[in-house]
Amino acid sequence: MIFHTRELDSKIYTDAIHIRKEVFVLEQEVPEELEFESEAACIHFVSYLAGLPVATVRLLPLSSELGKIQRMAVLSDYRGHYLGQTLMKEVELVAKNQGLATLQLGAQLQALPFYEKLGYNVISEEFLDANIPHKLMAKTLI
């Protein structure tokens, strides 16, 4: 099951933060101060499996037509089970329902094939985000 919220005092948001800390701060050693920004402006999504929060992503609307997908994370024990793919499809559905025509995301290099399978195309040269190599990707929804 996938739930989403804008409420920063909700269990969904708390679960999203837990997953992001586990994956980005602990596993990938992203400084915590870089991990948590623009929280109130985002829609936070969490995927639950048997009641446990296992994956998260957030959507930051940049304009009436453009949104940015950020902080995609799946707990290590649950990777490879299509949870990320299902979560991305839900984000795209919500984005489309809000009238967003295009989604962008900064993909870590090892994640490029994952996003390419979902229809995202590389639109930038490599850049560093939190000292991790990324490329900007985009997908047209409409």
pLDDT of 131 = 87
Total-model pTM: 0.94
Instruction: Return the domain boundaries, the chain.
Output: 2-140
Q: Tell me the residue type at 89.
A: K
pLDDT band at 142 (very low <50, low <70, confident <90, very high): confident
pLDDT tens digits for range 76-113 = 999 988 899 999 999 999 999 999 999 999 999 999 99
Q: How far apart are the first and last CA of the chain?
A: 26
pLDDT of 35 = 83
58's CB contacts (< 8 A; 6+ apart) are 16, 42, 43, 44, 45, 69, 70, 71
SS3 56: strand
Which among 94, 76, 125 is positioned nearest to 3, based on CA atoms?
A: 94
Per-residue burial over 104-123, b = 16 or more CB atoms within 10 Å of its CB, e = otherwise = bbbbbeebeeebeebebeee
pLDDT band at 130 (very low <50, low <70, confident <90, very high): confident
What is the second-level CATH architecture of the domain 2-140?
3-Layer(aba) Sandwich (3.40)
pLDDT tens digits for range 8-61 = 999 999 999 999 999 999 999 988 888 888 899 999 999 999 999 999 999 999
pLDDT of 43 = 96
Using CA atoms, how far apart are residues 38 and 133, in angstroms rounded to an integer? Answer: 21
